[in-house]
Amino acid sequence: MRRSLLVGGALSALVITGCAADPEPGRSAPAERFAGFAGVVKETDNYLAIAVMGDRARAFVCDDNDEAWFEGSVGKDGVATLTGPDGKKPVGFFNTLQGMGSFWIEGRLRTFQAAPVDKTAGLYRAQSPNGQLVAGWVVLPNGDQVGAVTLNGVNQPAPPIKPGQKTVTVAGQELPLKSGPEQLASSG
74-98: pLDDT as tens digits: 766 666 677 777 777 766 767 666 6
Q: What is the pLDDT of residue 59?
A: 87
Report which residue type is found at 126: A
3-state secondary structure of 180: helix
Q: What is the pLDDT of residue 140?
A: 93
3-state secondary structure of 30: coil
142-172 burial: b if 16+ Cβ within 10 Å, else e: eeebbbbbbeeeebebbeebebeeeebebee
3-state secondary structure of 148: strand
**What global pTM score does this model have?**
0.77
Q: Which residues of the chain have pLDDT under 70?
A: 1-31, 75-80, 90-91, 93, 95-98, 105-106, 185-188
> Rounded CA gap, 174 and 127, in Å?
10
Q: How many helices (H) and strands (E) does the chain have?
A: 1, 16
- Residue (of 176, 88, 179) closest to 137 by Cα position: 179
Q: What is the pLDDT of residue 95?
A: 67
> Rounded CA gap, 33 and 116, in Å?
13
